Structure 1
């Protein structure tokens, strides 16, 4: 008899339930989805493990690099592509192809992004996506004569969050938001993981992630790990221990062309989850580097290829 207590089964059960019971819906991409509304997952991080899925290999280094890119406030894909991270290329590539009519390959487009800073500035920017909102949420100040000027730095939500957790850990305002109504139409992709909230109790930091839209086959494995990394980084910076990750999804779906992924992955038996340790404690949450994250004991089945819907 299988041991169904492994926490990864909650993810696999969600994936299976979506495929079996999800409502068939048309979507923005034209691919079609099977969707359920209002789903939740919960993971215990107190033992040092992290929800890095084992039923398919997930590139945790890509997740770390993307998160550090968010934390730097960046919105251009060039730094990611320079590090071999291509998960954000599809959107600017599609925009370039439509604007120019050039049937350029993704590989050639990325090569131009890396080689030509001007080309990257023109075609590699994603608009005011996560990093812009996390580090530079727009703020306007009176400029006289009834006019207002935009503060070029804006509001640094990350700095404020660390400060507030340290100074007032029982606050109910420990929030991080990415959904800026005034700027969402300028983003290449509106934020899927929209709101984070944190809760301190008995020396432990727990986090909640609300997603308005969740691609469970491809996106959720990344989102769960990103949210867990943020909890661990904030806990280290604020002299706390990790608690729990609570995840809530609004439009939770799997794409119609991900049937092979669902069948393959749900047939696999999860392996023990890995531990996350830190090689050092950086001076601030903005000073982490890839080599600071030490993942121990990660054994996983092979990755499962599936098309991304743009």
Structure 2
């Protein structure tokens, strides 16, 4: 709240959305925070040329849009296009497995890195069920942060936000105040207590990395922990194997009692689950209508024990519909 700021709304981050957001810039805006996304090579080159950022960078390479880019090397190349259009400071992740390739794309003299081994990093991290506490280490000093978001991944996101903010000259005290007052976006790890249950709405979108991160957050919650997953889109020819690996990994997360997979690739996830000793944790359904009675039975079986549910899937799966249907039945 330091100054009038334009921020990307929703997911207006592609070759159409970015120009739409730029058209909203007004003389009174002192800052603009723009998200640039890509579903093909050359898109970030085009949008970052329009934006002409003073400061820009990559948070991580991740696994989103795997299909369009034919693998993570392609994702790295596409995201790294941003570094050709920065006038002041390039932000880079210090501990990404593509850190070397990312650094090779940097063109500016000034860089600021975040994550372990970087300029901005977290130590003494304590993960709580719905928040996190850590010591923030920066070139401007060290300070304790009480972050109102759960999960190790959000601590990493916070250190990235600090690097971007320091690079545009915002003071450390103002940055920490901003982090501690931040409010989550709808459908991104929103905690909703309902009757005797906790519902975690993480339905905004999903990719393989964010699914795994969400599972770790659920594992921190109380009682019987149930993860309800929809299909992940945009994985191309690797969709079946990625869902298989996801099923295998989700049931193996310590503290998760049940995983309910819904959608076309739910059987692939279940196969992955069955490749482990925890196969019985996974139930697969082709659609939400089939999954709902199972979830109701699960509640009836375990009542009155406390239960925590996390719902997550790619945007097109509309997992919030299943969550709302279950909440209505309680």
Q: Is TM more than 0.5 here? A: no
* TM-score of the pair, normalised by structure 2: 0.29
The structure, 1 or 2, with the larger RCO (C-alpha pairs under 8 Å, 6+ apart) is: 1
**Greater share of helix:** 2
